[in-house]
Chains A and B, each alone.
Chain A
Amino acid sequence: MIRTYSLTKYYNATPALRQLTLEIPAGAVYGVLGPNGAGKTTLLQLIMGFVLPSSGTIDRGGISPADIGYLPERAFYPPRFTVRSYLDTIARLVGSRERNRQDEVTRLLRQVGLSEVGDRRMGACSRGMLQRLGLAQALLGDPDLLILDEPSLGLDPSGQLFMRQQIAALNSSGKTVLLSSHHLDEVTRVCTHVAVLSRGRLVRAGDLASMLAPRARVVIDCGPVPPELARQLHERLPNITISDQRIVLGGDAVAHKAEILRQLLDHDVDIRQLSEVRSTLEEIFMEATEW
Protein backbone atom coordinates (compact mmCIF):
# COMPACT_ATOMS: atom_id res chain seq x y z
CA MET A 1 0.00 0.00 0.00
CA ILE A 2 1.13 3.52 -0.78
CA ARG A 3 0.24 6.33 1.58
CA THR A 4 0.78 10.03 1.34
CA TYR A 5 0.43 12.26 4.38
CA SER A 6 -0.27 15.97 3.99
CA LEU A 7 1.78 15.94 0.82
CA THR A 8 2.45 19.44 -0.41
CA LYS A 9 4.48 20.60 -3.35
CA TYR A 10 5.28 24.15 -4.37
CA TYR A 11 7.11 25.16 -7.53
CA ASN A 12 8.65 28.43 -6.39
CA ALA A 13 5.60 30.13 -4.88
CA THR A 14 3.05 28.23 -6.96
CA PRO A 15 1.25 25.41 -5.17
CA ALA A 16 0.99 22.25 -7.29
CA LEU A 17 -0.29 19.94 -4.57
CA ARG A 18 -1.73 20.88 -1.19
CA GLN A 19 -2.06 18.73 1.93
CA LEU A 20 -2.77 15.54 0.01
CA THR A 21 -3.48 12.53 2.19
CA LEU A 22 -4.23 9.44 0.17
CA GLU A 23 -4.14 5.66 0.50
CA ILE A 24 -3.62 3.48 -2.52
CA PRO A 25 -4.47 -0.11 -1.58
CA ALA A 26 -2.34 -2.98 -2.86
CA GLY A 27 -3.89 -4.70 -5.85
CA ALA A 28 -6.01 -1.68 -6.82
CA VAL A 29 -6.20 0.10 -10.13
CA TYR A 30 -6.21 3.62 -8.80
CA GLY A 31 -7.20 6.41 -11.15
CA VAL A 32 -6.14 9.98 -10.47
CA LEU A 33 -8.45 12.44 -12.17
CA GLY A 34 -8.47 16.17 -12.42
CA PRO A 35 -8.48 19.03 -14.87
CA ASN A 36 -5.22 20.26 -16.39
CA GLY A 37 -2.97 21.69 -13.70
CA ALA A 38 -4.76 19.82 -10.92
CA GLY A 39 -1.51 18.21 -9.73
CA LYS A 40 -1.89 14.69 -11.16
CA THR A 41 1.54 14.47 -12.77
CA THR A 42 3.13 16.16 -9.77
CA LEU A 43 1.64 13.48 -7.50
CA LEU A 44 2.99 10.69 -9.71
CA GLN A 45 6.40 12.36 -9.97
CA LEU A 46 6.52 12.73 -6.20
CA ILE A 47 5.84 9.04 -5.75
CA MET A 48 8.53 8.26 -8.34
CA GLY A 49 10.96 10.55 -6.50
CA PHE A 50 11.59 12.80 -9.51
CA VAL A 51 10.49 15.79 -7.48
CA LEU A 52 10.71 16.18 -3.73
CA PRO A 53 7.85 17.24 -1.47
CA SER A 54 7.84 20.73 0.01
CA SER A 55 6.26 19.13 3.07
CA GLY A 56 4.50 15.93 4.00
CA THR A 57 5.65 12.37 3.47
CA ILE A 58 5.21 9.42 1.15
CA ASP A 59 5.16 5.83 2.39
CA ARG A 60 5.74 3.53 -0.57
CA GLY A 61 5.22 0.43 1.52
CA GLY A 62 8.84 -0.64 1.24
CA ILE A 63 8.93 -0.39 -2.56
CA SER A 64 11.92 1.50 -3.94
CA PRO A 65 11.09 3.90 -6.81
CA ALA A 66 13.59 1.86 -8.88
CA ASP A 67 11.26 -1.13 -8.57
CA ILE A 68 8.25 0.74 -9.91
CA GLY A 69 7.28 0.39 -13.56
CA TYR A 70 6.83 3.93 -14.82
CA LEU A 71 5.33 5.37 -17.98
CA PRO A 72 5.59 9.17 -18.14
CA GLU A 73 2.89 11.37 -19.62
CA ARG A 74 4.93 11.96 -22.74
CA ALA A 75 7.68 9.43 -23.03
CA PHE A 76 10.58 10.48 -25.21
CA TYR A 77 13.02 7.98 -26.63
CA PRO A 78 16.39 8.31 -28.31
CA PRO A 79 15.35 8.15 -31.98
CA ARG A 80 18.41 6.28 -33.28
CA PHE A 81 18.12 3.30 -30.94
CA THR A 82 16.10 0.30 -32.05
CA VAL A 83 13.10 -0.78 -30.01
CA ARG A 84 14.83 -4.00 -28.95
CA SER A 85 18.16 -2.40 -28.04
CA TYR A 86 16.39 0.24 -25.95
CA LEU A 87 14.39 -2.36 -24.05
CA ASP A 88 17.60 -4.31 -23.60
CA THR A 89 19.23 -1.22 -22.04
CA ILE A 90 16.36 -0.79 -19.58
CA ALA A 91 16.43 -4.53 -18.82
CA ARG A 92 20.13 -4.23 -17.98
CA LEU A 93 19.37 -1.33 -15.64
CA VAL A 94 16.67 -3.40 -14.01
CA GLY A 95 19.26 -6.10 -13.46
CA SER A 96 17.97 -8.91 -15.66
CA ARG A 97 20.50 -11.63 -16.34
CA GLU A 98 21.83 -12.10 -19.86
CA ARG A 99 19.76 -15.15 -20.84
CA ASN A 100 16.58 -14.05 -19.06
CA ARG A 101 16.95 -10.59 -20.53
CA GLN A 102 16.65 -11.70 -24.14
CA ASP A 103 13.65 -13.86 -23.29
CA GLU A 104 11.98 -11.13 -21.27
CA VAL A 105 12.44 -8.51 -24.00
CA THR A 106 11.08 -10.92 -26.64
CA ARG A 107 8.12 -11.83 -24.44
CA LEU A 108 7.26 -8.21 -23.71
CA LEU A 109 7.56 -7.21 -27.36
CA ARG A 110 5.08 -9.97 -28.12
CA GLN A 111 2.81 -8.96 -25.24
CA VAL A 112 2.51 -5.37 -26.44
CA GLY A 113 2.27 -6.34 -30.10
CA LEU A 114 5.65 -4.98 -31.19
CA SER A 115 7.35 -8.25 -32.18
CA GLU A 116 7.59 -7.19 -35.79
CA VAL A 117 9.14 -3.79 -35.13
CA GLY A 118 11.82 -4.87 -32.66
CA ASP A 119 14.58 -3.90 -35.07
CA ARG A 120 13.01 -0.62 -36.10
CA ARG A 121 14.55 2.64 -34.92
CA MET A 122 12.37 4.42 -32.42
CA GLY A 123 12.44 7.58 -34.51
CA ALA A 124 10.53 5.64 -37.17
CA CYS A 125 7.84 4.35 -34.80
CA SER A 126 4.32 5.77 -34.63
CA ARG A 127 2.91 7.39 -31.51
CA GLY A 128 0.87 4.28 -30.78
CA MET A 129 3.93 2.04 -31.08
CA LEU A 130 5.91 4.25 -28.72
CA GLN A 131 3.11 4.15 -26.17
CA ARG A 132 3.11 0.34 -26.36
CA LEU A 133 6.91 0.44 -26.03
CA GLY A 134 6.43 2.66 -22.97
CA LEU A 135 4.22 0.01 -21.40
CA ALA A 136 6.72 -2.73 -22.29
CA GLN A 137 9.62 -0.90 -20.62
CA ALA A 138 7.45 -0.26 -17.56
CA LEU A 139 6.78 -3.99 -17.29
CA LEU A 140 10.48 -4.93 -17.38
CA GLY A 141 11.54 -6.51 -14.12
CA ASP A 142 7.95 -7.60 -13.40
CA PRO A 143 7.21 -4.73 -10.97
CA ASP A 144 4.44 -5.07 -8.39
CA LEU A 145 3.53 -1.42 -8.78
CA LEU A 146 3.04 0.45 -12.03
CA ILE A 147 2.63 4.18 -12.41
CA LEU A 148 1.13 5.14 -15.74
CA ASP A 149 0.75 8.83 -16.47
CA GLU A 150 -1.95 9.25 -19.11
CA PRO A 151 -1.38 5.79 -20.63
CA SER A 152 -3.89 6.33 -23.44
CA LEU A 153 -2.70 9.79 -24.41
CA GLY A 154 -2.67 10.15 -28.17
CA LEU A 155 -3.87 6.61 -28.84
CA ASP A 156 -6.56 5.75 -31.37
CA PRO A 157 -9.66 3.81 -30.15
CA SER A 158 -8.06 0.42 -30.79
CA GLY A 159 -4.92 1.56 -28.96
CA GLN A 160 -7.04 2.73 -26.04
CA LEU A 161 -8.84 -0.61 -25.95
CA PHE A 162 -5.47 -2.38 -25.99
CA MET A 163 -4.24 -0.27 -23.09
CA ARG A 164 -7.42 -0.94 -21.09
CA GLN A 165 -7.06 -4.68 -21.68
CA GLN A 166 -3.44 -4.59 -20.56
CA ILE A 167 -4.29 -2.68 -17.39
CA ALA A 168 -7.13 -5.08 -16.61
CA ALA A 169 -4.77 -8.03 -17.18
CA LEU A 170 -2.17 -6.47 -14.88
CA ASN A 171 -4.78 -5.97 -12.19
CA SER A 172 -6.02 -9.55 -12.46
CA SER A 173 -2.43 -10.73 -11.98
CA GLY A 174 -2.37 -8.89 -8.65
CA LYS A 175 -0.39 -5.82 -9.61
CA THR A 176 -1.16 -2.37 -8.27
CA VAL A 177 -1.64 0.24 -10.97
CA LEU A 178 -1.72 3.95 -10.31
CA LEU A 179 -2.74 5.92 -13.37
CA SER A 180 -3.75 9.41 -14.27
CA SER A 181 -6.16 9.97 -17.08
CA HIS A 182 -8.42 12.43 -18.79
CA HIS A 183 -10.48 9.59 -20.24
CA LEU A 184 -13.29 9.21 -17.71
CA ASP A 185 -14.70 6.33 -19.67
CA GLU A 186 -11.35 4.53 -19.41
CA VAL A 187 -11.20 5.16 -15.66
CA THR A 188 -14.75 3.90 -15.18
CA ARG A 189 -13.92 0.72 -17.06
CA VAL A 190 -10.57 -0.19 -15.52
CA CYS A 191 -10.23 1.52 -12.14
CA THR A 192 -11.28 0.08 -8.82
CA HIS A 193 -10.52 3.30 -6.96
CA VAL A 194 -10.53 6.96 -7.91
CA ALA A 195 -9.15 10.21 -6.55
CA VAL A 196 -10.25 13.53 -7.98
CA LEU A 197 -7.85 16.45 -7.68
CA SER A 198 -8.69 20.06 -8.28
CA ARG A 199 -6.19 22.90 -8.04
CA GLY A 200 -3.80 20.73 -6.08
CA ARG A 201 -6.36 19.58 -3.54
CA LEU A 202 -7.97 16.21 -3.11
CA VAL A 203 -11.71 16.71 -3.55
CA ARG A 204 -12.98 13.11 -3.79
CA ALA A 205 -11.40 9.72 -3.16
CA GLY A 206 -12.60 6.21 -2.64
CA ASP A 207 -13.50 3.00 -4.34
CA LEU A 208 -15.38 3.63 -7.52
CA ALA A 209 -18.33 1.32 -6.90
CA SER A 210 -19.27 2.94 -3.60
CA MET A 211 -18.65 6.37 -5.08
CA LEU A 212 -21.18 5.75 -7.82
CA ALA A 213 -23.74 3.66 -5.88
CA PRO A 214 -25.29 6.35 -3.63
CA ARG A 215 -25.84 8.46 -6.66
CA ALA A 216 -27.98 5.92 -8.51
CA ARG A 217 -31.53 7.09 -9.14
CA VAL A 218 -34.77 5.31 -9.93
CA VAL A 219 -37.20 7.07 -12.26
CA ILE A 220 -40.84 5.99 -12.32
CA ASP A 221 -42.95 7.30 -15.19
CA CYS A 222 -46.54 7.09 -14.10
CA GLY A 223 -49.95 8.69 -14.14
CA PRO A 224 -50.89 11.57 -11.78
CA VAL A 225 -50.03 10.83 -8.13
CA PRO A 226 -52.81 11.63 -5.64
CA PRO A 227 -51.77 14.65 -3.51
CA GLU A 228 -52.31 12.77 -0.24
CA LEU A 229 -49.98 9.93 -1.32
CA ALA A 230 -47.39 12.46 -2.56
CA ARG A 231 -47.44 14.18 0.84
CA GLN A 232 -47.04 10.87 2.70
CA LEU A 233 -44.09 9.83 0.53
CA HIS A 234 -42.41 13.20 0.93
CA GLU A 235 -42.73 13.05 4.69
CA ARG A 236 -41.21 9.55 4.89
CA LEU A 237 -38.51 9.91 2.27
CA PRO A 238 -36.87 13.28 1.75
CA ASN A 239 -34.92 12.03 -1.31
CA ILE A 240 -38.00 11.69 -3.45
CA THR A 241 -39.08 14.13 -6.13
CA ILE A 242 -42.61 13.95 -7.43
CA SER A 243 -43.57 15.99 -10.46
CA ASP A 244 -46.60 15.81 -12.69
CA GLN A 245 -46.18 12.30 -14.07
CA ARG A 246 -42.75 11.31 -12.84
CA ILE A 247 -41.28 10.19 -9.53
CA VAL A 248 -37.51 10.28 -9.02
CA LEU A 249 -36.00 8.33 -6.14
CA GLY A 250 -32.52 9.26 -5.00
CA GLY A 251 -30.28 8.41 -2.05
CA ASP A 252 -32.00 6.29 0.63
CA ALA A 253 -35.28 6.32 -1.26
CA VAL A 254 -33.82 3.96 -3.92
CA ALA A 255 -33.87 1.11 -1.41
CA HIS A 256 -37.61 1.65 -0.91
CA LYS A 257 -38.59 1.39 -4.55
CA ALA A 258 -40.57 -1.85 -4.16
CA GLU A 259 -42.59 -0.41 -1.29
CA ILE A 260 -43.28 2.81 -3.21
CA LEU A 261 -44.40 0.84 -6.26
CA ARG A 262 -46.79 -1.14 -4.09
CA GLN A 263 -48.28 2.05 -2.67
CA LEU A 264 -48.68 3.53 -6.15
CA LEU A 265 -50.49 0.37 -7.29
CA ASP A 266 -52.66 0.42 -4.18
CA HIS A 267 -53.75 3.95 -5.15
CA ASP A 268 -54.45 2.83 -8.73
CA VAL A 269 -51.66 4.96 -10.17
CA ASP A 270 -50.88 3.90 -13.71
CA ILE A 271 -47.19 2.83 -13.88
CA ARG A 272 -45.77 3.06 -17.37
CA GLN A 273 -42.05 2.58 -16.90
CA LEU A 274 -39.47 2.11 -14.20
CA SER A 275 -35.83 2.75 -14.97
CA GLU A 276 -32.65 2.89 -12.96
CA VAL A 277 -30.34 5.73 -13.84
CA ARG A 278 -26.74 5.20 -12.74
CA SER A 279 -24.70 8.22 -12.02
CA THR A 280 -21.59 8.68 -14.13
CA LEU A 281 -18.06 9.48 -13.17
CA GLU A 282 -18.36 12.50 -15.39
CA GLU A 283 -21.06 13.94 -13.11
CA ILE A 284 -18.93 13.30 -10.05
CA PHE A 285 -15.90 14.78 -11.78
CA MET A 286 -17.70 17.91 -12.94
CA GLU A 287 -19.30 18.42 -9.55
CA ALA A 288 -16.04 17.87 -7.66
CA THR A 289 -13.94 20.10 -9.87
CA GLU A 290 -16.48 22.90 -10.16
CA TRP A 291 -14.68 26.17 -9.61
Chain B
Amino acid sequence: MVKRVATLTSYLILNLSRSLAGVVPLALALAFGIIAFEYGMDQPQFITVSGIGIGGICLVTALLLASRANRASSYLLVARLRWRAELLVAIVLASLAITAALGMLVSIANLFAGRLTLEFPSALWVLPTWLPLWLLAATLALPLASLVERGGSHLIGYALVAGLLIANDRKAFLIREGIDWLARIVTAALWPINTLAERASAGIHGRDYAMAWALTCIYALLLFTLAAALFGDKDLLWSE
Protein backbone atom coordinates (compact mmCIF):
# COMPACT_ATOMS: atom_id res chain seq x y z
CA MET B 1 0.00 0.00 0.00
CA VAL B 2 2.80 2.42 0.93
CA LYS B 3 4.49 1.83 -2.41
CA ARG B 4 1.27 2.36 -4.36
CA VAL B 5 0.49 5.58 -2.46
CA ALA B 6 4.05 6.84 -3.00
CA THR B 7 3.80 6.03 -6.73
CA LEU B 8 0.43 7.77 -7.03
CA THR B 9 1.69 10.80 -5.08
CA SER B 10 4.67 11.31 -7.37
CA TYR B 11 2.44 10.70 -10.41
CA LEU B 12 -0.05 13.35 -9.23
CA ILE B 13 2.71 15.89 -8.56
CA LEU B 14 4.30 15.30 -11.98
CA ASN B 15 0.93 15.35 -13.72
CA LEU B 16 0.01 18.70 -12.11
CA SER B 17 3.43 20.24 -12.66
CA ARG B 18 3.31 19.33 -16.37
CA SER B 19 -0.06 21.00 -16.88
CA LEU B 20 -1.19 24.59 -17.16
CA ALA B 21 -3.09 24.17 -13.89
CA GLY B 22 0.28 23.64 -12.20
CA VAL B 23 0.90 27.38 -12.54
CA VAL B 24 -1.97 28.18 -10.16
CA PRO B 25 -0.36 27.16 -6.82
CA LEU B 26 2.92 28.75 -7.87
CA ALA B 27 1.20 32.00 -8.86
CA LEU B 28 -0.75 32.04 -5.59
CA ALA B 29 2.40 31.45 -3.58
CA LEU B 30 4.26 34.22 -5.42
CA ALA B 31 1.36 36.62 -4.99
CA PHE B 32 1.11 35.75 -1.30
CA GLY B 33 4.86 36.06 -0.84
CA ILE B 34 4.89 39.52 -2.39
CA ILE B 35 1.66 40.99 -0.98
CA ALA B 36 1.63 39.56 2.56
CA PHE B 37 5.30 40.36 3.18
CA GLU B 38 5.18 43.84 1.64
CA TYR B 39 5.70 45.60 5.00
CA GLY B 40 7.77 42.84 6.53
CA MET B 41 6.73 40.15 9.00
CA ASP B 42 7.95 39.13 12.42
CA GLN B 43 7.78 35.57 13.70
CA PRO B 44 4.34 35.70 15.45
CA GLN B 45 2.75 37.22 12.34
CA PHE B 46 4.56 34.74 10.14
CA ILE B 47 3.16 31.79 12.09
CA THR B 48 -0.46 32.92 11.90
CA VAL B 49 -0.68 34.82 8.62
CA SER B 50 1.57 32.53 6.58
CA GLY B 51 0.28 29.38 8.25
CA ILE B 52 -3.28 30.17 7.27
CA GLY B 53 -2.37 31.84 3.94
CA ILE B 54 -0.26 28.92 2.77
CA GLY B 55 -2.96 26.63 4.17
CA GLY B 56 -5.31 28.30 1.68
CA ILE B 57 -2.83 27.48 -1.09
CA CYS B 58 -2.80 23.89 0.17
CA LEU B 59 -6.60 23.78 -0.12
CA VAL B 60 -6.51 25.09 -3.69
CA THR B 61 -3.71 22.65 -4.60
CA ALA B 62 -5.66 19.70 -3.22
CA LEU B 63 -8.75 20.83 -5.16
CA LEU B 64 -6.66 21.06 -8.34
CA LEU B 65 -5.18 17.60 -7.79
CA ALA B 66 -8.61 16.13 -7.10
CA SER B 67 -9.99 17.83 -10.18
CA ARG B 68 -7.24 16.32 -12.35
CA ALA B 69 -7.86 12.91 -10.79
CA ASN B 70 -11.54 13.20 -11.67
CA ARG B 71 -10.92 12.19 -15.29
CA ALA B 72 -11.11 9.12 -17.47
CA SER B 73 -7.31 8.80 -17.41
CA SER B 74 -7.66 7.78 -13.75
CA TYR B 75 -9.47 4.54 -14.65
CA LEU B 76 -6.20 2.79 -15.37
CA LEU B 77 -4.74 3.95 -12.05
CA VAL B 78 -7.77 3.22 -9.87
CA ALA B 79 -8.07 -0.20 -11.55
CA ARG B 80 -4.78 -1.19 -9.92
CA LEU B 81 -5.59 0.02 -6.40
CA ARG B 82 -6.68 -2.28 -3.59
CA TRP B 83 -8.65 0.53 -2.00
CA ARG B 84 -9.93 3.68 -3.63
CA ALA B 85 -8.96 5.63 -0.53
CA GLU B 86 -5.33 5.20 -1.62
CA LEU B 87 -6.01 7.82 -4.30
CA LEU B 88 -7.31 10.23 -1.65
CA VAL B 89 -4.25 9.66 0.55
CA ALA B 90 -2.06 10.39 -2.47
CA ILE B 91 -3.95 13.63 -3.15
CA VAL B 92 -3.44 14.76 0.44
CA LEU B 93 0.25 13.84 0.43
CA ALA B 94 0.85 15.44 -2.96
CA SER B 95 -0.82 18.68 -1.88
CA LEU B 96 1.20 18.69 1.37
CA ALA B 97 4.43 18.14 -0.57
CA ILE B 98 3.66 20.93 -3.06
CA THR B 99 2.56 23.25 -0.26
CA ALA B 100 5.72 22.53 1.74
CA ALA B 101 7.88 23.33 -1.29
CA LEU B 102 5.98 26.56 -1.98
CA GLY B 103 5.97 27.53 1.72
CA MET B 104 9.70 27.01 1.81
CA LEU B 105 10.13 29.08 -1.35
CA VAL B 106 8.07 31.98 0.04
CA SER B 107 9.81 31.87 3.43
CA ILE B 108 13.39 31.62 2.15
CA ALA B 109 12.83 34.29 -0.51
CA ASN B 110 11.46 36.74 2.07
CA LEU B 111 14.12 35.80 4.58
CA PHE B 112 16.83 36.68 2.08
CA ALA B 113 14.98 39.83 1.05
CA GLY B 114 15.05 40.94 4.70
CA ARG B 115 11.25 41.06 4.95
CA LEU B 116 11.03 38.22 7.42
CA THR B 117 12.69 37.92 10.80
CA LEU B 118 12.86 34.60 12.56
CA GLU B 119 14.23 33.78 15.97
CA PHE B 120 15.86 30.46 16.53
CA PRO B 121 15.31 27.96 18.08
CA SER B 122 11.65 29.01 18.59
CA ALA B 123 11.25 29.26 14.80
CA LEU B 124 11.56 25.47 14.72
CA TRP B 125 7.96 25.37 15.99
CA VAL B 126 6.72 26.84 12.73
CA LEU B 127 6.56 23.61 10.75
CA PRO B 128 4.88 21.47 13.49
CA THR B 129 2.29 24.25 13.82
CA TRP B 130 1.64 24.56 10.09
CA LEU B 131 1.51 20.86 9.36
CA PRO B 132 -1.88 20.14 11.02
CA LEU B 133 -3.31 23.31 9.47
CA TRP B 134 -2.23 22.20 6.01
CA LEU B 135 -3.42 18.69 6.69
CA LEU B 136 -6.81 20.11 7.64
CA ALA B 137 -6.86 22.23 4.47
CA ALA B 138 -5.95 19.25 2.25
CA THR B 139 -8.52 16.94 3.80
CA LEU B 140 -11.16 19.68 3.74
CA ALA B 141 -10.63 19.90 -0.03
CA LEU B 142 -11.57 16.24 -0.51
CA PRO B 143 -15.31 16.39 0.31
CA LEU B 144 -15.45 19.72 -1.53
CA ALA B 145 -14.09 18.15 -4.72
CA SER B 146 -16.20 16.81 -7.57
CA LEU B 147 -14.10 13.65 -7.45
CA VAL B 148 -15.59 12.71 -4.09
CA GLU B 149 -19.00 14.43 -3.97
CA ARG B 150 -22.22 12.51 -4.28
CA GLY B 151 -25.54 14.08 -5.15
CA GLY B 152 -24.23 17.61 -4.77
CA SER B 153 -22.81 16.97 -1.29
CA HIS B 154 -19.87 19.27 -2.07
CA LEU B 155 -22.27 22.21 -2.41
CA ILE B 156 -23.46 21.54 1.13
CA GLY B 157 -19.81 21.44 2.15
CA TYR B 158 -19.07 24.80 0.55
CA ALA B 159 -22.17 26.31 2.20
CA LEU B 160 -21.11 24.98 5.61
CA VAL B 161 -17.57 26.30 5.31
CA ALA B 162 -18.80 29.68 4.10
CA GLY B 163 -21.41 29.79 6.89
CA LEU B 164 -18.79 28.91 9.51
CA LEU B 165 -16.38 31.60 8.31
CA ILE B 166 -19.11 34.26 8.08
CA ALA B 167 -20.47 33.37 11.52
CA ASN B 168 -16.96 33.51 12.96
CA ASP B 169 -16.48 36.95 11.46
CA ARG B 170 -19.87 38.19 12.74
CA LYS B 171 -19.79 36.74 16.26
CA ALA B 172 -20.41 40.13 17.85
CA PHE B 173 -23.48 40.58 15.64
CA LEU B 174 -24.76 37.11 16.57
CA ILE B 175 -24.44 37.85 20.30
CA ARG B 176 -26.12 41.24 19.88
CA GLU B 177 -29.01 39.60 18.02
CA GLY B 178 -29.49 37.06 20.81
CA ILE B 179 -28.22 34.02 18.92
CA ASP B 180 -25.21 33.66 21.13
CA TRP B 181 -25.59 29.84 21.08
CA LEU B 182 -24.48 29.93 17.43
CA ALA B 183 -21.54 32.14 18.35
CA ARG B 184 -20.58 29.62 21.05
CA ILE B 185 -20.81 26.71 18.60
CA VAL B 186 -18.64 28.54 16.07
CA THR B 187 -16.10 29.45 18.78
CA ALA B 188 -15.98 25.85 19.95
CA ALA B 189 -15.72 24.49 16.43
CA LEU B 190 -12.84 26.78 15.52
CA TRP B 191 -11.13 26.57 18.91
CA PRO B 192 -8.40 24.13 17.81
CA ILE B 193 -7.36 26.23 14.82
CA ASN B 194 -7.50 29.57 16.63
CA THR B 195 -5.72 28.16 19.67
CA LEU B 196 -3.03 26.49 17.60
CA ALA B 197 -2.24 29.73 15.78
CA GLU B 198 -2.51 31.97 18.87
CA ARG B 199 -0.42 29.79 21.18
CA ALA B 200 2.23 29.18 18.53
CA SER B 201 2.55 32.88 17.70
CA ALA B 202 2.81 33.66 21.41
CA GLY B 203 5.50 31.01 21.73
CA ILE B 204 3.47 28.99 24.23
CA HIS B 205 3.58 25.30 23.47
CA GLY B 206 1.78 23.91 26.49
CA ARG B 207 -1.22 21.69 27.09
CA ASP B 208 -3.68 23.83 25.11
CA TYR B 209 -1.31 23.87 22.16
CA ALA B 210 -0.97 20.08 22.25
CA MET B 211 -4.72 19.62 22.56
CA ALA B 212 -5.42 22.04 19.72
CA TRP B 213 -2.79 20.27 17.62
CA ALA B 214 -4.38 16.88 18.29
CA LEU B 215 -7.93 18.16 17.69
CA THR B 216 -6.92 19.73 14.37
CA CYS B 217 -5.49 16.36 13.32
CA ILE B 218 -8.71 14.67 14.45
CA TYR B 219 -10.73 17.14 12.36
CA ALA B 220 -8.54 16.20 9.39
CA LEU B 221 -9.03 12.51 10.11
CA LEU B 222 -12.81 12.94 10.30
CA LEU B 223 -12.87 14.86 7.02
CA PHE B 224 -10.74 12.18 5.38
CA THR B 225 -13.01 9.44 6.71
CA LEU B 226 -16.04 11.28 5.34
CA ALA B 227 -14.35 11.66 1.94
CA ALA B 228 -13.27 8.01 1.88
CA ALA B 229 -16.83 6.91 2.71
CA LEU B 230 -18.30 9.09 -0.05
CA PHE B 231 -15.69 8.03 -2.62
CA GLY B 232 -15.57 4.38 -1.57
CA ASP B 233 -18.87 3.35 -3.08
CA LYS B 234 -19.34 6.06 -5.63
CA ASP B 235 -19.99 5.15 -9.26
CA LEU B 236 -16.93 6.28 -11.17
CA LEU B 237 -18.30 7.58 -14.45
CA TRP B 238 -15.44 9.58 -15.86
CA SER B 239 -15.03 11.15 -19.23
CA GLU B 240 -12.12 13.28 -20.42
Determine if chain A interacts with chain B.
yes
Q: Which residues of B contact A81 (CB under 8 A)?
A: 14-15, 18
CB distance from A98 to the nearest CB of B (A): 11
Interface string of B209-224 (1 = CB under 8 A from A): 0000000000000000
Interface string of A159-188 (1 = CB under 8 A from B): 000000000000000000000000000000
In the complex, the chain A residue whose C-beta lies closest to that of B6 is A92
Q: Is B235 an interface residue (CB 8 A)?
A: yes
Q: What CA separation (Å) do A194 and B112 show in the bound complex?
A: 70
Query: Which B residues from 193 to 240 make CB contacts under 8 A with A?
Result: 233, 235-237, 240
In the complex, the chain A residue whose C-beta lies closest to that of B84 is A49
Contact call B76/A70, Cβ cutoff below 8 A: yes
Contact call A93/B77, Cβ cutoff below 8 A: yes
Contact call A72/B82, Cβ cutoff below 8 A: no
- Please tell me the size bucket of the interface on B: 20 to 34
Q: Which residues of A contact B237 (CB under 8 A)?
A: 11, 50-51
Given known pairs A50-B236, A95-B3, the reply for A76 and B72 (CB within 8 Å) is yes
Across the interface, B236 reaches (CB within 8 A) one of A51, A70, A137, namely A51
CB distance from A188 to the nearest CB of B (A): 28
Query: Which A residues from 71 to 109 make CB contacts under 8 A with B?
Result: 72, 74-78, 80-81, 89-90, 92-95
Q: Is B67 an interface residue (CB 8 A)?
A: no
Contact call A92/B7, Cβ cutoff below 8 A: yes
Contact call A72/B3, Cβ cutoff below 8 A: no
Q: Is A216 an interface residue (CB 8 A)?
A: no
Interface string of A123-163 (1 = CB under 8 A from B): 00000000000100100010000000000000000000000
Q: What CA separation (Å) do A93 and B87 show in the bound complex?
A: 11
Q: Which residues of A contact B11 (CB under 8 A)?
A: 89
Q: Is B79 an interface residue (CB 8 A)?
A: yes
Q: Which residues of B contact A52 (CB under 8 A)?
A: 233, 235
Q: What CA separation (Å) do A123 and B78 show in the bound complex?
A: 21
Contact call A75/B79, Cβ cutoff below 8 A: no
Q: Is A48 an interface residue (CB 8 A)?
A: yes
Contact call B76/A75, Cβ cutoff below 8 A: yes
Write the residues of chain A forming the contact surface with B, with a CB cutoff of 8 angstroms: 11, 45, 48, 50-52, 64-66, 68, 70, 72, 74-78, 80-81, 89-90, 92-95, 134, 137, 141
Known: A11-B237, A75-B72. 16 other contacts (CB 8 A): A50-B237, A51-B236, A51-B237, A52-B233, A64-B82, A65-B79, A68-B79, A70-B79, A72-B76, A76-B71, A76-B73, A76-B240, A81-B18, A89-B77, A90-B76, A92-B4
Write the residues of chain B forming the contact surface with A, with a CB cutoff of 8 angstroms: 3-4, 7-8, 11, 14-15, 18-19, 71-73, 75-82, 233, 235-237, 240
Q: 25 A-B pairs, CB-CB below 8 angstroms?
A: A45-B236, A50-B79, A50-B235, A50-B237, A51-B236, A51-B237, A52-B235, A68-B79, A70-B79, A72-B76, A75-B75, A75-B76, A76-B72, A76-B75, A76-B240, A80-B15, A80-B18, A80-B19, A81-B14, A81-B18, A90-B76, A90-B80, A93-B8, A95-B3, A95-B4
